[in-house]
Amino acid sequence: MRLVQVTRNGEIKLTVPAEVRNGILRHHDAILINADLIPATTTKAAVAAAIKAGKITPEIEAMGMHIGDNGNGLVVRWLDEVQAEERVKAKAEYDALPAEVRAAREERAAIDDLYRRSYKALNRDTDDNNVERGYRLQAEADRRLAAWQEKYPDAAKEELRRDLLARADHEEELAVGALTYDCDGSFSPEYQRQRHDEFMAKAADYRRQAAQL
Dump pLDDT digits (tens) for 19-39. Answer: 999 999 999 989 999 999 999
Residue 211's Cβ-side half-sphere holds a number of Cα atoms within 13 Å equal to 7
DSSP string over the chain = -EEEEEEETTEEEEEEEEEEETTEEEETTEE-B-GGG--TTS-HHHHHHHHHTT---HHHHTTB--SEE-STTEEEEEHHHHHHHHHHHHHHHHHTS-HHHHHHHHHHHHHHHHHHHHHHHHHT--STTHHHHHHHHHHHHHHHHHHHHHH-HHHHHHHHHHHHHHHHHHHHHHHHHHHH--SSS---HHHHHHHHHHHHHHHHHHHHHHHH-
The pLDDT value given to residue 193: 93
**So where are the chain's domains?**
2-86, 98-151, 153-213
Has residue 185 got a pLDDT over 80? Answer: no
The whole-chain average pLDDT of the chain stands at 95
- Distance of alpha carbon 187 from alpha carbon 177, whole angstroms: 13
What are the distances in angstroms from CA 54 to CA 27, 29, 57, 61, 62? Answer: 13, 8, 9, 12, 15
Region 105-116 average pLDDT: 98
Has residue 18 got a pLDDT over 90? Answer: yes
Q: Answer yes or no: are the C-beta atoms of 194 and 141 closer than 8 Å.
A: no
Region 179-188 average pLDDT: 75
Q: Answer yes or no: are the C-beta atoms of 18 and 2 closer than 8 Å.
A: yes
The pLDDT value given to residue 67: 98
Region 134-159 average pLDDT: 98
The pLDDT value given to residue 12: 97
Given pLDDT bands bounded at 50, 70 and 90, which one contains residue 186?
confident
Has residue 181 got a pLDDT over 80? Answer: no
The pLDDT value given to residue 195: 93
- Distance of alpha carbon 213 from alpha carbon 156, whole angstroms: 11
User: Does the pTM exceed 0.75?
Assistant: no
Q: Which range scores top for mean pLDDT: 42-56, 137-151, 174-188?
A: 137-151
List, for residues 53-95, the tens digit of each pLDDT value.
Answer: 999 999 999 999 999 999 999 999 999 999 999 999 999 999 9
- Distance of alpha carbon 108 from alpha carbon 192, whole angstroms: 41
Q: Answer yes or no: are the C-beta atoms of 71 and 61 closer than 8 Å.
A: no
